[in-house]
Amino acid sequence: MFTMPTIDMGATGRNIVRLRKAAGLTVRELQDVFGFATPQAIYKWQRGTTMPTIDNLVVLAAVLEVPMDEIVVIDGNAKERISA
């Protein structure tokens, strides 16, 4: 059996909010960085309803000046078991 880690999307969203505010950025400023027409994607990330794509996560980490693993929270309690 292999224990598969899962991402805690809610905690990750809270991290994005915390790190964005610590960096002194508004949602609108992040929207401009990513070139999004609307801020909806960023709000979804912050609510934990969706995750940034890997390329957006790389940019987000660079903009917030933190490693990606400081943004993403691994849920230690909710793990799926996978048998090979």
Number of independent structural domains in the chain: 1
pLDDT digits (tens, 9 = 90+) for 7-32: 999 999 999 999 999 999 999 999 99
The string over 31-47, giving b where at least 16 C-beta atoms fall within 10 Å of a residue's C-beta and e elsewhere, is: beeeeeeebebbeebbe
pLDDT at 78: 54
pLDDT at 33: 96
Q: How many CB atoms lie within 10 A of CB 53?
A: 10
pLDDT at 52: 97
| Three-state secondary-structure class, residue 46 | helix
Residue span of the structural domain in which 23 resides = 2-82
The pTM of the full predicted model, rounded to 2 decimals, is 0.85
pLDDT digits (tens, 9 = 90+) for 29-69: 999 999 999 999 999 999 999 999 999 999 999 999 999 99
Q: What is the CATH number of the domain that holds 72?
A: 1.10.260.40
